[in-house]
Chains A and B, each alone.
Chain A
Amino acid sequence: MEYNAEEYDVIIVGGGHAGCEAALASSRLGKKTAMFIINMDTLANMPCNPNIGGTSKGHLVREIDALGGEMGKVADKTFIQSKMLNMSKGPAVHSLRMQSDRMKYHIVMKETLENQKNLDIYQAEIVDIIVNEKKDKILGVKTKTGAIYNTKAIVVATGTYLKGKIIIGEISYESGPDGVFPANDLSQSLMNIGVQLRRFKTGTPSRININKMDLSKMEVQKGDSEISLFSYDNVDNESMLNKKQVDCYLTYTTEKTHKLILDNLHRSPLYSGKIEGVGPRYCPSIEDKIVRFKDKERHQIFVEPLGEYTSEMYIQGMSTSMPEDIQIAMYRSIPGLENATLMRSAYAIEYDAIDSTNLNLNLEYKGIQGLFFAGQVNGSSGYEEAAAQGIMAGINASLKIDNKESFILDRSEAYIGVLIDDLVTKGTNEPYRMMTSRAEYRLNLRQDNADIRLREKGYNLGLISQEKYNKFLIKKEMIELETERLKKLNIYPTDETNDLLKELGSSEITTCHKASDLLKRSEISYKDLIKLNPEKNILRKEITEQVEIQLKYDGYIKLQLEQIEEFKKLENKKLSKDINYSEIKGLSLEARQKLDKQKPLSVGQASRISGVSPADISVLLIYLNQSQKR
């Protein structure tokens, strides 16, 4: 029984972190949007680690926020611990991570979506994508209950639900994460319209009740005394900045743990061949770690609360697909967990993902108009990576409907750009995790300047309100004014000045120095400068932080900007979609095939496709030169 239900501009399949951002972006851009989710109570769920951010992921959250996304705002409303990582390692790699109240995060995000104009949310499983006869354009979706929704664009954000299969030791069964139904029918529908699928794998550790733990055997891990927040909207939110935080704990595996695992390796589906999906290297199971790193005597185990109103704790570092009986013994071999009972067992999960190189940089599937993909289904991992793709897919689906140019960020503009370019251009053979080392220009892509990089773009798109944009412009001007002031401000070699310099372990001055030059000394901070020049009124931290970084690392930032200019040269050499690469005879066979399949937008993008050599790039450049002459 089928029936025609509502009609929409954009339909989002899936209500995880990618789906939520996509739904919000599209509806906020004025598109009539619907989001479908298998189980309403798992909207924006965190089926794995209960935190948002971390190295490079924190950067993504800030970028999403700068563009007008929601993840950072909800994280700020629901965090239970905040920590700025890498404080000693330089400005580019400071990364904010928040322990999140998992349930509260779900509630706040759901409420945001419910109250969003232009947006409807349905609990329903999408079983079919309806396309035109030529199978090159989408028309709508069909639910399991037979409702047909016509639409102009679809964003598939199915996470790990597509043909999800959970594996625990010898046991395996069809399931999405956290005991939710999987999406079994959609895979076939996708394949029918020509979408290539493959199997990926990931996993999660057990959850254990804190009341069954001996915390005295663990080290306490506290949040920062000075709380940092994600959203640029919350810089002066006193209640958030003064929130009472919850502790995490650290313990270690023991010799006994290792022996248990090695003795029972034959029962691990990873080693018995039961798991066919490709798992991520950065997220190995404990059995993987022990086999691969035999010499390491112990591994760290972080114990993290799932929320304020629960006793469930996440056991980071102990992801496993061992049978349950071994799991119990394994966890109990760890100091502090001797009496543990497993509230939720650890499991590995296999799911269908697409080959992300079949996407265009706007996340639309090649050859099927209006079909967008975002999140874990693209082969990424992590809530933040998903959300980043979600907002981009939502924006681009909306732009597509309006016949406007796609919104693409490049590698020099944002981690989002690095993420999507890596997925689409280079492709990935394992679930892809964002890392700061993947960004070539990370000194420019700092988490502190995400608004300076992206706020204007968000405003131009229509995702940032005039009021917020004005606030940003004022901030920017204040940064510029203060920077200029310090460049002109003379610091004289008075006794007072030199006493302070000595105190800071810095060499004394004998001539007049510009304040900005003193700031370049690694031992002198902006705060110290203010002591030398006390009449200045106090600026907010978000201002002084920018001034300090920009002046202190001026030389390096300039160097990086030069590199970016160099990089842009090849990015700006555009390649038409109509080029028939098989006719360019100087290209290697492999390059012809790859270029024909991927149809890169620029010579720069072509150069990052594996199998395209520098020689091929030269041929392309000659080809371009020649065709311009004609």
Chain B
Amino acid sequence: MSTIAAIGTALGSSGINIIRISGDKSKDIIKNIFNNYSKLSPNTIVYGKIIDNEVFLDNVLVSYFKSPNSFTGEDICEINCHGGSYITKQILETVIKNGAEMASPGEFSKRAFLNGKMDLSEAESIIDLINAKTKIETKIATEQLNGQLFTKIVKLREKLVEILAQIEVSIDYPEYDYEEVENSNVIKLLDLEISEINKLLNSYEEGKYIKNGINVAILGRPNVGKSSLLNNLAKYERAIVTDIAGTTRDVVEETINIGDIILNISDTAGIRETEDVIEKIGVSKSIKKIDEVDLVIYVLNIENKLSIEDINMLSKIQNKGIKYIPVINKMDEYEKMFFDAFMSELNKNNITTTINISAKEDLGIDELKSKIMSMFFDDTINNTNEIIIVNERHKKLLEDSIEHLKIAKEEVVKCMPVDIISIEIKESTRKLGEIIGTDVSQDIISKIFEKFCLGK
């Protein structure tokens, strides 16, 4: 069986996280990435450093449980690292790079069961874990969201089942005088459903940010105040979780909290044309960073005017369609005339809605913070009544569902026969049903008899 790994603790602002590795290769993996491997023996805990390809990642404690005396019955190694989602994920990635596979939900428990470490009846919850696909996620939908997602999906399905019942009744009872389903009505209903499901899907992005945090890169030319902005943001929230100092890397990462939201911030090397080889590498890394993040904070400095690098970089960001905030730093030192000239220069280059701050004097940080929030969350999102999709399986099912509805709509327009159209609508209904776990065809038949009067 393969060796699996997963983060065993909740991500977020906890102080310590645990990465669990189970399988034959557990020890080999640790050997590759842990400097004090030689001291590791069964049922001990050893302090040391996790090093990925000569890059230091974190000071950690590693424990080792030898097969069969472990939770799963296989060799297990656990890495206790510092909290913060970024560093934990880095270590997990390293573990996976070294030969482990991502564990699927409930897989540790499943292995424990399969290896005879656990009787099934010992814990019903373990079964729930094994069935995470249907149960836990339904639980999220029903309990954690106060049943709102459940209710919403039921409603969406209900409308589709109703139109299906109309189609089916016209098929199974062709000679009865029920009105045939009118195309315009079907299209109207399909449009409505598509837009409702789209709304839910849009919330997934937001849900994702809530769950995993927003990845932010701070970009700008050298010495515009990028680092002091980062420090300021971190200090401001007093929530530095991991600080990877002393590395040779030129992108510095921080995980900080604003309100309930985590920002994973990368501070990058200043961007400028340079002949220096090492600096060039740093600059190109900074540019590459753009592709990896959800948001770029581009720091400009009134003193330095707008350079050709700034303009190139900003237009690159704009072209890629990445969310960005132009921040003008060192506002404490500006003079009105100076500022107006700078702004008009910016406007000429299509850059508007800047945030003006002074990292040194703590000015404008609040404004920046709320700007970030408003870029990722609708105002309504703070309203707890809104449904948020956080589960990737749900998202996939909603996407599938919408896809079938779109095809159905095209078919209606093309005047395809109803049984073909019903295939797509049924499939879409089935996908929605998978979110909440119900059987389609039974529903339609019940509906038919509830709604229509038929028989001999």
Which one of B121, B134, B455 lies within 8 Å of A586 (CB-CB)? B121
B130: contacting residue among A442, A560, A585, A622, CB under 8 A: A622
**Inter-chain contacts of A300 with B (CB < 8 A):** 175-177
Query: A443 to chain B: which residues have CB within 8 Å?
Result: 419-420, 423
* Given A289-B453, A522-B414, residue A618 in contact with residue B175 (CB < 8 A): no
Stretch among A73-81, A280-288, A334-342 lining the B interface: A280-288
Task: Tell me the bound Cα distance from A442 to B133 in angstroms.
Answer: 28
Q: Known contacts A586-B121, A614-B131: does B455 contact A282 (CB below 8 Å)?
A: yes
Q: Are B171 and A89 neighbours in the complex by a CB distance under 8 Å?
A: yes
Known: A437-B441, A618-B131. A292 touches B120 (CB 8 A): no
Is A35 an interface residue, CB under 8 A from the partner? no
Is B119 interfacial (CB-CB < 8 Å)?
yes
A72 proximal to B (CB < 8 A): no
Q: A49 and B121 in contact (CB under 8 A), knowing A55-B174, A93-B419, A626-B114? A: no
CB of B174 within 8 A of CB of A438, answer no
Q: Which residues of chain B are near A296, meaning CB under 8 Å?
A: 453
Closest CB-CB distance, A303 to chain B, in whole Å?
12
Name the A residues within 8 Å of B131 (CB-CB). Answer: 614-615, 618
Flag B173-216 by CB within 8 Å of A: 1 or 0 each.
Answer: 11111000000000000000000000000000000000000000
B376 within 8 A of A: no
- B175 touches which one: A85, A319, A560 (CB < 8 A)? A85
Q: Which of B16-24, B67-75, B365-373, B442-450 contacts A (4 or more CB under 8 A)?
A: B442-450
Tell me if A89 and B168 are in contact (CB < 8 A): no
Contact B114 A435 (CB under 8 A): no
A residues 549-565 touching B (CB-CB < 8 Å): 553, 556, 559-560
A177 touches B (CB below 8 Å)? no
A3 near B: Cβ within 8 Å?
A: no
A55/B456 in contact, CB under 8 A: no
A612 to B244, CA, bound (A): 52
Q: A556-B420, A615-B131, A626-B114 are known contacts. Are A299 and B453 too (CB-CB below 8 A)? A: yes
Contact call B110/A622, Cβ cutoff below 8 A = yes
Contacts of A553 in B (CB 8 A): 420
The number of residues on chain B lying at the interface, defined by a beta carbon within 8 Å of a beta carbon of chain A, is: 41
B127 partner residues in chain A, CB cutoff 8 A? 586, 615, 618-619
Partner of A90, one of B414, B418, B448: B418
Contact with B along A601-630 (1 / 0, CB 8 A): 000000000000011001100100110000
Chain A residues whose CB sits within 8 angstroms of the CB of B449 once the complex forms: 281-282
B285 within 8 A of A: no
In contact, A615 and B168 (Cβ under 8 angstroms): no
A324 at the interface (CB under 8 A from B): no
Interface presence of A139 (CB below 8 A) = no
- Does A116 sit at the interface, judged by CB under 8 A? no
Nearest neighbor of A563 in chain B, beta-carbon distance:
B427
Q: Which of A264-289 contact B (CB under 8 A)?
A: 280-284, 289
Kindly list chain A residues whose C-beta atoms are within 8 Å of the C-beta of B114.
Answer: 622, 625-626
With a cutoff of 8 Å between Cβ atoms, the chain B residues found around residue A281 in the complex are: 449
At the interface, yes or no: B454 with Cβ under 8 Å from chain A?
yes
Q: Please state if B419 and A91 are interface contacts (CB–CB under 8 Å).
A: yes
| A89-B456 CB under 8 A given contacts A585-B119, A622-B113 | no
Instruction: Point out the residues of chain B lying under 8 angstroms from A317, CB to CB.
Output: 455-456
Q: Which residue of A lies closest to B415 (CB)?
A: A522
User: CA of A365 to CA of B291 in the docked complex: distance in angstroms?
Assistant: 66
Interface residues contributed by chain A, number (CB under 8 Å): 52
State the CA gap A455–B373 with chains docked (Å): 66
On whether the beta carbons of A586 and B417 are closer than 8 Å, the reply is no
Distance in angstroms between the alpha carbons of A77 and B83 in the assembled complex: 82
Please tell me which one of the listed residues B119, B133, B173, B444 contacts residue A55 in the complex, with CB atoms under 8 A apart: B173
**B454 near A282: Cβ-Cβ < 8 Å:** yes
Interface status of A53 (Cβ within 8 A of chain B): no
In the bound complex, residues from chain A placing their C-beta under 8 Å from that of B147 are none
Other-chain contact of B419, A49, A90, A319 (Cβ < 8 Å): A90
CB contacts (< 8 Å) of A293 on chain B: these are 453
CB-CB under 8 A from B174, the residues of chain A are 55, 85-86, 89, 95
Q: Are A91 and B417 in contact (CB under 8 A)?
A: yes
Given A289-B453, A316-B456, A89 and B414 touching (CB < 8 A)? no
A585 touches which one: B120, B177, B453, B455 (CB < 8 A)? Answer: B120
Contact indicator B417/A90 (Cβ below 8 Å):
yes
For the complex formed, measure the closest distance between the CB of A295 and the CB atoms of chain B, giving whole angstroms: 10
* Interface residue? B170 (CB, 8 A): yes
- B397 → chain A closest CB, angstroms: 14
Contact of A89 among B120, B121, B170, B444 (CB under 8 A): B170
B10 contacts chain A at the CB level, 8 A cutoff:
no
**Is A510 on the interface with B (CB-CB < 8 A)?**
no
Residues of A within 8 A of B453 (CB): 284, 289, 292-293, 296, 299
Question: B243 contacts which chain A residues (CB < 8 A)?
Answer: none
Closest-CB distance, B310 to chain A (whole angstroms): 50
For B121, B174, B418, which residue has the most chain A Cβ atoms within 10 angstroms?
B174
CB atoms of A437 and B171 under 8 A apart: yes
For the complex, is A596 an interface residue (Cβ under 8 Å from B)?
no
Please name all residues of chain A whose beta carbon is closer than 8 Å to the beta carbon of B423 when the two chains form the complex: 443, 556, 559-560
Cα distance A300–B120 in the bound complex, in angstroms: 58
B437 interface residue, CB < 8 Å from A?
yes
Tell whether B128 is near chain A: CB-to-CB under 8 Å: yes
Asked if B135 CB lies within 8 Å of chain A CBs, one says yes
When the two chains form their complex, are residues A49 and B456 in contact, meaning their CB atoms are under 8 A apart? yes
Q: CB of B416 within 8 A of chain A?
A: yes
Determine if B333 is an interface residue (Cβ-Cβ < 8 Å). Answer: no
Q: Give the residues in chain B near A556, CB-CB below 8 Å.
A: 420, 423
Taking CB atoms and an 8 Å cut-off, the chain A residues in 46-91 that contact chain B are: 48-49, 55-56, 85-86, 88-91
A161 at interface, CB cutoff 8 A:
no
Most chain-A Cβ atoms within 10 A of its Cβ — which of B135, B172, B414, B448? B172
Looking across the interface, which residue of chain A has its beta carbon closest to that of B135?
Answer: A615
Name A151-178 residues within 8 Å CB distance of B.
Answer: none
Q: Inside 8 A of B170's CB, which chain A residues have their CB?
A: 89
A69 CA to B419 CA, complexed, in Å: 28
Q: Does A205 contact B (CB under 8 A)?
A: yes
**Distance (Å) between the CB of B50 and the closest chain A CB?**
34
Given A89-B171, A522-B415, A619-B127, A438 contacting B177 (CB threshold 8 A):
no
Which of A56, A300, A560: most chain B Cβ within 10 A?
A: A300
The 5 closest A-B pairs by CB, nearest first: A90-B417, A90-B419, A586-B120, A585-B121, A293-B453
19 A–B contacts, CB within 8 A, in A order = A55-B173, A88-B417, A91-B417, A92-B420, A93-B418, A205-B456, A284-B454, A302-B175, A435-B168, A436-B419, A442-B419, A443-B420, A556-B420, A585-B119, A614-B133, A614-B437, A615-B131, A618-B127, A622-B110
- Extra 9 A-B pairs, beta carbons < 8 Å, given A90-B419, A289-B455, A435-B172: A55-B174, A282-B454, A282-B455, A283-B455, A302-B175, A436-B171, A556-B423, A622-B113, A622-B130
